[in-house]
């Protein structure tokens, strides 16, 4: 059993990480940090916690205190800027679910995240934790962004098989992707019956995607009137390879990512509430483009599920331990 601290446990990603840790056969919850809930019981987060047996959640402590705990694993669920300020003090594993350690070029933070990175020299020490595409190792894991995960699951294995200038990604995300802080743009009176593009051609996940692919892409995100789930529709031109075959081979052994049969399109409805991802591949009938679509849950494979999966890899646990991978949810 490895023990776990969650810092920033009251946000969406912290709460979902907590849920997976509680369900994980080899992880033990040690401390939960939240500045807004410090000193309060677990029922302050959810009234059902600690009521009916099962593993108990300790009282919330401050994030500062939680970071001082000498845990085997620390999940950091803070804002980008707060996470960037951290100096990991313990010898344990740190999984940062923010964007603070995903980019190697520290100068990009000022442009895309709005702050100067306080520890530019440390960035080289973090591993980009996308286990289907990267050999996860070491003790510092930068957990990928939700849009980047969906885009790279679709395009990562095709990196050397598509025309770099051909790539267009049109993405759509559920509202939990916007974080829990209330804003005008997250008000249900704005969101319901609406679809709104935002940061058109200028989203901060593009440098993250470009860093992995080796070339820039065109990317437009849209906010959907759904609670959870993210779908990326990717348009590419092949340099000759059979793109479906490349993807099917790449994910042949995966219990997390499924390449759907010919003619079947991914849907949010099948991946919501799970840590799975689906990929569909289509040949356009009018042009020479291939359309690769990836669906996942922004809080699952796009955040907390991937964070736990990274830990599973580092500790040699089964890849799907603690993950939610049901088969036939309606």
Output the smallest distance, CB 147 to its own copies, in A.
14
- Residue 179 tokens read as 């974080």
Q: How far is the CB of 203 from its own copies (least distance, A)?
A: 9
Q: Which is nearer to its own copies, 250 or 289 (CB)?
A: 289
Radius of gyration of the chain (CA): 19
Q: Parallel, antiparallel, or unpaired for β 218-223 and 196-197?
A: antiparallel
Minimum distance from CB of 92 to its own copies (Å)?
23
Report whether 130 contacts 306 (CB < 8 A).
yes
Question: How many angstroms separate the CA atoms of 252 and 260, rounded?
Answer: 11
| SS3 (DSSP) at 172 | strand
Four-residue CA torsion sign, 36, 40, 44, 50: positive
CB of 284 to its own copies, least distance (A): 4
**Residue from 77, 146, 234, 294 carrying the catalytic annotation:** 146
Q: Is 187 exposed, middle or buried (0-12, 13-18, 19+ CB in 10 A)?
A: exposed
Q: Which one, 61 or 217, has the nearer CB to its own copies?
A: 217
> Quick check: 297 and 245 in contact, CB under 8 A?
no
CA end-to-end span of the chain: 34
Nearest CB to its own copies, comparing residues 213 and 314 = 213
Nearer to its own copies, 69 or 168 (CB): 168
Indicate the residue among 122 and 166 with the shorter CB distance to its own copies. 166
- Quote the tokens at residue 279: 């990929």
Q: Could you tell me which residues come within 8 angstroms of residue 258 by beta carbon, excluding any fewer than 6 positions away?
A: 251, 276, 277, 278, 279
**146 tagged catalytic:** yes
Judge residue 51's burial from the number of C-beta atoms within 10 Å of its C-beta, 0-12 exposed, 13-18 middle, 19 or more buried.
exposed
Residue 106 Cβ, how far from its own copies at the closest point, in Å?
Answer: 19
Residues marked as catalytic: 146
């Amino acid at each position: 059993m490895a023990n776990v601290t969650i810092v920033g446990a009251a946000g969406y990603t912290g709460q979902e990480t907590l849920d997976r840790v509680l369900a994980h056969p080899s992880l033990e919850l040690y401390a939960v940090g939240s500045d807004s809930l410090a000193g309060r019981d677990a029922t302050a987060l959810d009234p059902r916690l600690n009521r009916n047996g099962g593993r108990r959640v300790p009282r919330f402590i401050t994030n500062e205190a939680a970071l001082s705990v000498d845990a085997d694993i620390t999940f950091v669920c803070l804002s980008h800027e707060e996470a960037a300020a951290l100096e990991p003090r313990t010898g344990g594993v740190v999984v940062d679910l923010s964007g603070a350690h995903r980019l190697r070029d520290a100068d990009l933070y000022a442009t895309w995240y709005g702050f100067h990175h306080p520890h530019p020299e440390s960035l080289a020490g973090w591993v980009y934790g996308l286990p289907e595409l990267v050999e996860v190792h070491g003790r510092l894991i930068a957990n990928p962004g939700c849009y980047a995960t969906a885009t790279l699951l679709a395009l990562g294995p095709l990196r050397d098989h598509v025309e770099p200038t051909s790539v267009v990604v049109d993405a759509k995300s559920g509202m939990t992707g916007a974080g829990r802080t209330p804003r005008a743009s997250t008000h249900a009176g704005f969101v319901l019956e609406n679809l709104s593009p935002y940061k058109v051609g200028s989203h901060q996940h593009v440098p993250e995607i470009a860093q992995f692919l080796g070339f820039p892409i065109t990317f437009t995100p849209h906010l959907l009137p759904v609670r959870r789930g993210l779908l990326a529709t990717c348009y590419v031109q092949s340099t000759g390879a059979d793109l479906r075959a490349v993807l099917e081979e790449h994910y042949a052994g995966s219990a997390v990512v499924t390449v759907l049969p010919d003619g079947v399109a991914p849907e949010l409805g099948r991946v919501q509430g799970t840590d799975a991802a689906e990929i569909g591949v289509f040949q356009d009938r009018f042009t020479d483009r291939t359309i690769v679509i990836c669906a996942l849950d922004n809080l699952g494979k796009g955040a907390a599920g991937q964070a736990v999966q990274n830990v599973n890899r580092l500790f040699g646990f089964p890849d799907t331990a603690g993950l939610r991978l049901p088969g036939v949810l309606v």
